[in-house]
Amino acid sequence: MASVITLTTDFGLSGPYVGAMKGVILSINPAAQLVDITHSISPQDIRQAAMVLEGATPWFPAGTIHLVVVDPGVGTERGIIYAEIGNQRYVCPDNGLLDRLTLKNPPTRIISLSNSQHWASHVSATFHGRDIMAPVAARLSLGLDPAELGLPQDKLIALGWPQPKNTDGEIVGSVIWIDDFGNLITNISDDMLANLGFPRSLSVEILDHTIPTISHTYGDQPIGKLIALVGSSGQLEIARVNESAEAMLDANVGAHVIVHL
Amino acid sequence: MASVITLTTDFGLSGPYVGAMKGVILSINPAAQLVDITHSISPQDIRQAAMVLEGATPWFPAGTIHLVVVDPGVGTERGIIYAEIGNQRYVCPDNGLLDRLTLKNPPTRIISLSNSQHWASHVSATFHGRDIMAPVAARLSLGLDPAELGLPQDKLIALGWPQPKNTDGEIVGSVIWIDDFGNLITNISDDMLANLGFPRSLSVEILDHTIPTISHTYGDQPIGKLIALVGSSGQLEIARVNESAEAMLDANVGAHVIVHL
Amino acid sequence: MASVITLTTDFGLSGPYVGAMKGVILSINPAAQLVDITHSISPQDIRQAAMVLEGATPWFPAGTIHLVVVDPGVGTERGIIYAEIGNQRYVCPDNGLLDRLTLKNPPTRIISLSNSQHWASHVSATFHGRDIMAPVAARLSLGLDPAELGLPQDKLIALGWPQPKNTDGEIVGSVIWIDDFGNLITNISDDMLANLGFPRSLSVEILDHTIPTISHTYGDQPIGKLIALVGSSGQLEIARVNESAEAMLDANVGAHVIVHL
């Protein structure tokens, strides 16, 4: 039984919240191996967390438990779920956090957490990460049968994501995330580019800039040059060599990106 | 013997200081389980660290060693101590870092670190975290008897904290900490609210705003609404639903908060 | 065989990159002990990373594997190397990251990574940290013979660092790094100061300020005072007691620092 538990939250690092969750987990399973993915999701930014989960969690060993707490609805009627997607396991609020993962890979099991026997004896109204989700993750890591957590559920809450349009010789997509380097990640996948003829030369337009070709990697062009390339997640990215495309273009999530021959 | 060692510092993450302490610990006890609480305490902010320790450390397994380095007096005559509070163990400068924990729970044992045999062979004047506290924490995790560290000490340095006043039908307290979400945490506890009649309806005043009732959780009110609620630490908090109360009110630590029927 | 693997990157914490590397390592060696040094190196700042590696990595247990990904040349012809320096082991791009460590301690072994058998089966052009370096670090932690990774290499890429000048009774050096406290770390070592007569009284000049003596530690002078002292790495530092010398002096890396009797 894998004992790796990863943590992804929007708690930031100036307060006690991350430490409290880690303490709860280790008090239940002192042998759990805690792995921080990030605690720097922007407050309540479910979409950013969904992107991070998509890019990071499939790389973990089969059976890894991913505890994810980005929970603007804490204490309201929103559900909390256990889900299996691919060979990974997730414990999180049912608010769309798994929506990028399930685009490619439907969940094979969803349980709605209702059996409070596996929670803290006193549950605060504002910190279900500490009082419900951390104890459940810790007990799963000790081998608790997920069926004990509650009842099966059919579907997860979906956020919906903007979908690129593919019309004769042109893809119209958009920026869906901007990373710490200022790279603009789009919703245009390598498969769509291949359909358009890539690696034949394609040009990319964004915010009044035209990039005449898709590069292989950042270092193919001189420093400061605006480039397009297929990033490590298989999505088209707009980058500026050794600098920030976000700053150069004053770009935001949602900016249109057009690719054509 | 528990081998969990947590780390709480104001070192930030751009330099080598955190890594050096981790290396020293693992060189002495390669089996130590290192757990980051935070390295993002504001530089030399002992009060913020005291709040974080209060909120996080009691959740850890009994016997956990908490290494805390927020140390503006490094190299001067300030003491360094080992302390036991509740079932947790602390190694830190004697400068008030444990003052929130000891408000509720007096230390059961204090040792003043003086036996340099358990320190690094060369102690720098500016980094006792690496050269004194990390080696001591690591040796404790291997089972070293705390009595070996130095002589017993009676009291810890106290910072003093603003205390709320409770006079006929009114509590006058203040903001003592602001978290990463912009929630304002006050020194008014759920016990004081209960004395005033809570869950009977109470209203809360802060900085020319009146909040007519105390909510159960963040999601009880519409987005953008200023609310009061009892947070996960049992303290009254002022929050703005899905946004920052700090930004909305331009609030600082010390702002007065008045609760009445 | 030590199973500690440290991570030092410029990835920041808002994206999936750190988590993906951790997942890859644990999928290959579930028993690896992952230790974060930092992921907050400024984007592509090889010199900052070199300073952090110098200050942190020599403190780790012998045989520790340090995975370092600050890689502006990813996907171009720059090499990737395995190196042994002192009793530590490094996996990183060959771009100067080890240049501070090797100033004092030449590498005893360098291997140029070329045997793709130990890499991911598909290598992206933009994330060799995940697809080459993480798998190699994980396999080394399982006992893989470094000779399997590729061919020996004679030298590492050197960045070059500004060297202080020592002329009759005066040292002219410069600021080479500024830490999170705003302390200015110079390239003037305690050995050079000793040659000039320290602990005899020496005065220090920086940016139109004269500091008349070298202090023992931060707390020796009143709050707000600009001081000079020998820091925990054995280098001369300029600091402001409990505040930021960087902010006070508006100082940058490269600022001249003059020491004389």
pLDDT digits (tens, 9 = 90+) for B108-166: 999 999 999 999 999 998 999 999 999 999 999 999 999 999 999 999 999 989 999 99
**pLDDT recorded at residue B261:** 86
Under 8 Å between Cβ of C67 and C139: no
Place of tokens 């000779």: C147
Question: Edge-to-edge, what's the strand order for the sheet holding B65-69?
Answer: B33-38, B4-9, B65-69, B88-93, B80-85, B109-113, B150-152
Of chain B, the percentage scoring pLDDT greater than 70 comes to: 99
DSSP state of A117: G
First to last CA, chain A: 51
**Helix axis angle, A17-28 to A134-141, nearest 10°:** 30
Optimal mutation site among C51, C97, C218, interface B, most CBs of chain B within 10 A = C218
The shortest CB-CB distance from B34 to any of C35, C52, C217 is to C35
Question: Does a cis peptide bond (omega within 30 degrees of 0) precede residue B199?
Answer: yes
**pLDDT recorded at residue B217:** 86
Average pLDDT over residues B2-12: 92
Q: Report the 10 Å Cβ neighbour count for A1.
A: 9
Optimal mutation site among C5, C10, C14, interface A, most CBs of chain A within 10 A = C14
User: How many angstroms away from the CA of C46 is the closest CA of chain A?
Assistant: 12
How many whole angstroms separate alpha carbon B78 and alpha carbon C118?
52
Please indicate whether, in this complex, the C-beta atoms of A18 and B37 are within 8 angstroms of each other: yes
Show residues of chain B in contact with C43, CB under 8 Å: none
Task: Say if B14 is an interface residue toward chain C (CB within 8 Å).
Answer: yes
Average pLDDT over residues B16-39: 97
Average pLDDT over residues B71-90: 93
List pLDDT tens digits, range C103-158. 889 999 999 999 999 999 999 989 999 999 999 999 999 999 999 999 999 999 99
Residue A209's beta-bridge partner residues? A206
Query: Shortest CA distance to C186 belongs to which of C200, C172, C203?
Result: C172
How many whole angstroms separate alpha carbon C76 and alpha carbon C98?
19
- Tokens for A29, please give them: 């399973």
Task: Say if B39 is an interface residue toward chain A (CB within 8 Å).
Answer: yes
Q: Which helix (H) or strand (E) holds A150?
A: strand A150-152
Show residues of chain A in contact with B56, CB under 8 Å: 16-20, 22-23
**pLDDT recorded at residue C108:** 98
Under 8 Å between Cβ of B25 and B5: yes
Nearest residue in C to B122, CA atom? C232
List pLDDT tens digits, range B156-190. 999 989 999 998 889 999 999 998 889 999 999 99
Q: Which amino acid is at A156?
A: L
User: How many angstroms away from the CA of C121 is the closest CA of chain B?
Assistant: 32
User: How many angstroms away from the CA of B12 is the closest CA of chain C?
Assistant: 6
Phi and psi at A52, nearest 5°, equal -65, -45
The shortest CB-CB distance from C216 to any of B75, B78, B127 is to B75
Tell me: pLDDT of C2 over 70. Answer: no
Optimal mutation site among C64, C180, C221, interface B, most CBs of chain B within 10 A = C180
Q: Which helix (H) or strand (E) holds B55?
A: helix B46-56
**pLDDT recorded at residue B200:** 85
List pLDDT tens digits, range C223-258. 999 999 999 888 999 999 989 999 999 999 999 999
**pLDDT recorded at residue A219:** 80
- Tokens for A34, please give them: 């805690």
**pLDDT recorded at residue B1:** 43
Cut 0.90: pTM above it:
yes
Query: Shortest CA distance to B91 belongs to which of B40, B48, B42, B57?
Result: B57
Query: Shortest CA distance to B260 belongs to which of B195, B207, B208?
Result: B195
Please indicate whether, in this complex, the C-beta atoms of C218 and B74 are within 8 angstroms of each other: yes
Rounded to two decimals, the ipTM of the complex is 0.93
Show residues of chain B in contact with C35, CB under 8 Å: 19, 22, 26, 34
Q: What is the DSSP string of chain C?
A: ---EEEEEES--SSSSHHHHHHHHHHHH-TT-EEEEEES-SPTT-HHHHHHHHHHHGGGSPTT-EEEEE--TTTTSS--EEEEEETTEEEEEESSSTTHHHHHHS--SEEEEE--GGGS-SS--SS-HIIIIIHHHHHHHHTT--GGGGEEE-S-------PPPEEETTEEEEEEEEE-TT--EEEEEEHHHHHHTTTTS--EEEETTEEE-SEESSGGGS-TT-EEEEE-TTSEEEEEETTB-HHHHHT--TT-EEEEE-
Alpha helices by DSSP H, listed for chain A, are 17-28, 46-56, 99-104, 128, 134-141, 190-195, 245-249
**pLDDT recorded at residue A240:** 94
Tell me: pLDDT of C94 over 90. Answer: yes
DSSP state of A61: P
Task: Say if C61 is an interface residue toward chain B (CB within 8 Å).
Answer: yes
Q: Report the 10 Å Cβ neighbour count for A105.
A: 15
Task: Say if B231 is an interface residue toward chain A (CB within 8 Å).
Answer: yes
Task: Say if A121 is an interface residue toward chain B (CB within 8 Å).
Answer: no
Please indicate whether, in this complex, the C-beta atoms of C126 and A48 are within 8 angstroms of each other: no
Tell me: pLDDT of C1 over 80. Answer: no
The shortest CB-CB distance from B23 to any of C59, C180, C219 is to C59
Spans of chain A, pLDDT less than 50: 1-2
Task: Say if B18 is an interface residue toward chain C (CB within 8 Å).
Answer: yes
Task: Say if A144 is an interface residue toward chain C (CB within 8 Å).
Answer: no
The shortest CB-CB distance from B232 to any of A13, A19, A127 is to A127
Under 8 Å between Cβ of B87 and B108: no
Residue A206's beta-bridge partner residues? A209, A257
User: How many angstroms away from the CA of A44 is the closest CA of chain B?
Assistant: 7
Chains near B, with 3+ CB pairs < 8 A?
A, C
User: How many angstroms away from the CA of B220 is the closest CA of chain A?
Assistant: 7
List pLDDT tens digits, range C164-189. 999 888 999 999 999 888 999 999 99
**Confidence band (pLDDT; 50, 70, 90) for B19?**
very high
List pLDDT tens digits, range C38-84. 999 998 999 999 999 999 999 999 999 999 999 988 878 899 999 99
Average pLDDT over residues B224-252: 94
